[in-house]
Amino acid sequence: MDASRRSKRVKEIAHNLGFNACGISVASKLEEEEKHLETWLKKGYQGKMHWMENHFEKRLDPRKLVPGSKSVISLIFNYFPKTNLSNHPLKVAKYAYNEDYHFVLKRKLKEMVKLMAAEFGDIEGRVFVDSAPVMERAWAAKAGLGWIGKHSLLLNRQQGSFFFIAEIISDLELEEDGPTTDHCGTCTACIDACPTDAIVNNKVVDSNKCISYLTIELKDEIPSSFKNDMEGWIFGCDICQDVCPWNKFSSPQALDEFQPSEDFIGMHKNEWEDLTEEVFKDIFKKSAVKRAGYLKFKKSIQFCKEDGDN
């Protein structure tokens, strides 16, 4: 079986497992991204996410991360929920409504590698879901799954941006797909809507100002300078995605693991404020919200409550 036929079969396997799209790139160094990453780090836009400074070469070249690799298989999986809770006074990013995507997608990726091995024989394939120094957006764009929008997220003409990105880096030789074109045009909706001015340039986000960073990754207190700017977000933020015109094409997907639980839907503002650690662990036992931890989550709720009281 030649590379073209293998690639077609890989995409069929991905589709059968529920992935919305699959694209392929040759495993090589991301030359163009090297300069952008170096500049971004030098400006300190990573905030206190010091791990972003580690494994610089591996982050840019999958062959250094997975020796012997020949192909990067990029996949996207829609998570747009049937129930949208963005109008809630205290808001959680849509991707964290229910089960942690790392576990859900890794199960699917491991099954995909197993099916590929059954199809093509003995292959090496390592799976990644936002869990290693892999520039997933760059690889997905390189594989034609979309383009990098002004908010620095991947955009797809058919699906918008509410999807997870995953990769399989493999020693399987496949036929590469080319990149698509940029379709943001003169639109600046995401830049204009960001209440903290985190989008400092086209495709450049200063994490120090990003609500997602402030409510998840930043372990210190949220700086008081962001009072009146949080707009009720207590874990993550969807503002730049919600205002993007391309997300009018976002449609709910059926996977139960990403739908909000009844307990989560039933929480009202006062209940969030009175949230105990026991209830937190029960509601978010499988959720990515656990990354923030109970104390951080409570502090974000209190910060937003004070924000709303002003």
Q: At what angle do helices 101-120 and 3-16 cross, to 10 degrees?
A: 140
Average pLDDT, the chain: 93
Place 262 in a pLDDT band, splitting at 50, 70 and 90. confident
Q: Is the pLDDT of residue 272 over 70?
A: yes
130 is catalytic: yes
Mean pLDDT throughout 249-261?
Answer: 85
Q: Tens digit of pLDDT for each residue in 75-84? A: 999 999 988 8
Q: Which of 2, 100, 122, 130 is catalytic?
A: 130
**pTM assigned to the model:** 0.94
